[in-house]
Amino acid sequence: MTAPLDAPHVDVDSIPLDRMDVSDPKLYQDDVWWPYFARLRREAPVHYCRQSLYGPYWSLTKYKDIMQVEVNHQVYSSASELGGIAVEDQPKDMDRPSFIRMDPPKHDEQRMVVSPVVAPGNLANMEGVIRERTARVLDGLPRGETFDWVDRVSVELTTMMLATLFDYPFEDRRQLTYWSDVAIANVRSPDAPVHSEEEKFAELTKMTEALGKLFNERAQQPPKFDLLSMLAHSEATRNMPFREFMGTLSLLIVGGNDTTRNSMTGGLMALNEHPSEYQKLRDDPSLIPSMVSEVIRYVTPVIHMRRTATADGEIGGKHVKKGDKVVMWYVSGNRDPDAIEDPDNFIIDRPRPRQHLSFGFGIHRCVGNRLAELQLRILWEEIMQRYPVIEVMGPAKRVYSNFIHGIRSLPVRIPA
Amino acid sequence: MPKITYVEYGGREHRVEVPLGLSVMRGAVDNNIPGIDADCGGECACATCHVYIDQEWLGVTGMPVPGSQEASMLSFAALAQPNSRLSCQLKVSEALDGLVVRLPEGQH
């Protein structure tokens, strides 16, 4: 959580309260978001920002207010037509609906098509292959030299998982990583893979055509247990319009790799920043499951989710009007001392470590949450059997985004 | 105090006393019974305290009201069956003394 040296120092307390705008992606790229939310939680836990690049919006910064909105999908809608789930609306003629950007009943019908892939029985079946791949990737890492953990471990492992979930040609799997990065790209960022919404749409069109070809093949074959086959054989998803198919693929690709990728990187950073917790882990690897949940809380891979009010209501004593944009800042709720004790500390043996907002709650709760935990648990079990020390050698490069808490690269070294 | 029996997926039984007014979920968590995760802490927001109610008890516990938050959340729980409930929504009363709930293979 230390700010990079080149980040401009801002005295957060000197900003007029009504000018506080936590939607600026730079706050997350520079990793300086913390004091902004500490102040909002203290002075204006439900805060109205009148003016931002994305128009006016409400910020929810406390765990309990976020939970209230999470469970009230009747009033707080995720619908693409109303603007969807991010503070920034997708361009009107290029919006890409998917079940995360829908309300019941259509949301329910589509979500139920894909959820069996991460049901407990199937997770148990996948454990062996995940462990074997994880071991192979870790055994292939260099010793005594600096390398990029994101590329060699986090991207590699999560992309392999994604290729398996889609039954996508394994040797072409980095194509999935590329499309994932395109789908979450902020086109205003110089280091983004695409630089306009049109270019993004064009690249995602290529993705949709490539995966659409596989989808069509699988529709002709008997049903199999991969995401494309499941979509192709289900009444609720077999005839999606083009942009909805594009949105659904983007959702499954991003949800299926990027968040876990960033937890794999963020966890190693957190342990390096907290040497006594790292030692605790070495002394007692049975803490890994609990540490995994703490990593997911501490990293908070999804920065926010947005809803749109479909009726007037009250949140935390504030009057929210029909049509208002309501942003649930998970990064802040996960650091709310009224819900989580000593929230700014990384503590791998916390009581009730799964009580965090990182997966969301309510009907849109992350469908792959147990798969994410499984991948992270296996990664750390295999790491601890091989490498008691992995050193972080320099600062992480972070993604310019107010939505995905992304880490682009992290130099690390395994002692020779 | 009412006694509740929790049967793990593997068949292991835990018979514990749960104070009146607490939820069946809380009874499991407070007694460290494995197999109930309760990620959301009892807000009916995660479906990780999913249990199956023994047939003879369904008349007492009742079923989730169609269209309710519990019914919505349960519809996404892997392995949900007609006798599924979220145990955070079951309040312990004298009427539930002797209740038997079975835990699913996993909470998701």
User: Does A383 map to a domain?
Assistant: yes
Phi, psi at residue A46, to the nearest 5°? -110, 110
Q: Which residues pair with A104 in a beta bridge?
A: none
pLDDT single digits (tens) B34-75: 999 999 999 999 999 999 999 999 999 999 998 899 999 998
Phi, psi at residue A163, to the nearest 5°? -60, -40
The contacts of residue B53 (CB under 8 Å, 6+ apart) are B61, B83, B84, B85, B99, B101
The three-state secondary structure class of B79 is coil
Alpha carbons A44 and A28: distance in angstroms, whole number? 20
**pLDDT interval class at A226 (50, 70, 90):** very high
First to last CA, chain B: 31
User: Residue A90's pLDDT is what?
Assistant: 87
User: Does B33 map to a domain?
Assistant: yes
pLDDT single digits (tens) A22-51: 999 999 999 999 999 999 999 999 999 999
Supply angle C-alpha A406, A84, A397, rounded to 5.
10
Pick from A67, A120, A361: which is nearest to B108 by CB? A120
Q: Which CATH number does the domain housing residue B45 bear?
A: 3.10.20.30
How many CB atoms sit inside 10 A of residue A70's CB?
25
Q: Which residues of B touch A (CB under 8 A)?
A: 37, 39-41, 43-48, 69, 72-73, 75-76, 78-79, 104-108
User: Residue A216's pLDDT is what?
Assistant: 98
Phi, psi at residue A120, to the nearest 5°? -50, -45
> Are A218 and A228 in contact, with CB atoms under 8 Å apart?
yes
User: Does B13 map to a domain?
Assistant: yes
Asked if B108 lies within 8 A of A354 by C-beta distance, the reply is: no
Section B15-31 average pLDDT:
97
**pLDDT interval class at A244 (50, 70, 90):** very high
User: Does A62 map to a domain?
Assistant: yes
Residue type for position B75: S
Helix axes A156-166, A174-184, angle to 10 degrees: 100
Asked if A120 lies within 8 A of B79 by C-beta distance, the reply is: yes
Domain that holds residue A292: 23-413
Length of chain A: 416
| pLDDT > 80? residue A120 | yes
Section A298-311 average pLDDT:
98
Average predicted confidence (pLDDT) for chain B: 95
Q: Which CATH number does the domain housing residue A301 bear?
A: 1.10.630.10
User: Residue B52's pLDDT is what?
Assistant: 98
Alpha carbons B108 and A371: distance in angstroms, whole number? 10
Q: How far is A367 from chain B (nearest CA, A)?
A: 8
User: Residue A1's pLDDT is what?
Assistant: 47
User: Does B53 map to a domain?
Assistant: yes
pLDDT single digits (tens) A44-87: 999 999 999 999 999 999 999 999 999 999 999 999 999 999 99
Residue A231 to residues A109, A117, A193, A249, A411: CA-CA distances in angstroms? 11, 11, 28, 10, 39
User: Residue A9's pLDDT is what?
Assistant: 75
User: Does B107 map to a domain?
Assistant: no
Average predicted confidence (pLDDT) for chain A: 96
| pLDDT > 60? residue A5 | no
User: Does B40 map to a domain?
Assistant: yes
**pLDDT interval class at A2 (50, 70, 90):** very low
**Which tokens hold the place of A115?**
């959820």
| pLDDT > 80? residue A7 | no
The three-state secondary structure class of A46 is strand
Q: How far is A66 from chain B (nearest CA, A)?
A: 12
Find chain A residues with C-beta within 8 A of B108's C-beta. 118-120, 369-370
Asked if A71 lies within 8 A of B78 by C-beta distance, the reply is: no
User: Does B46 map to a domain?
Assistant: yes
User: Does A119 map to a domain?
Assistant: yes
**pLDDT interval class at A8 (50, 70, 90):** low
Domain that holds residue B19: 3-102
- For the complex shown, is ipTM > 0.90? yes
Find chain B residues with C-beta within 8 A of A361's C-beta. 40, 43, 45-46
| pLDDT > 90? residue A357 | yes
Number of domains in chain A: 1
Number of domains in chain B: 1
User: Does A1 map to a domain?
Assistant: no
Q: For a pLDDT cut of 70, what percent of chain A falls above it? A: 98
User: Residue A6's pLDDT is what?
Assistant: 57
User: What is the DSSP annotation of A322-389?
Assistant: TT-EEEEEHHHHTT-TTTSSSTTS--TT-SSTT--STT--GGGS-TTHHHHHHHHHHHHHHHHHH-S-
User: Does B78 map to a domain?
Assistant: yes
Section A193-217 average pLDDT:
97
User: Does B108 map to a domain?
Assistant: no
**Which tokens hold the place of B97?**
């003394």
User: Does A4 map to a domain?
Assistant: no
User: Residue A202's pLDDT is what?
Assistant: 97
Q: How many CA atoms lie within 13 A of A248 on its CB side?
A: 27
| Minimum CA–CA partner of A363 in chain B | B73
User: Does A326 map to a domain?
Assistant: yes
Cα A313 → chain centroid: 28
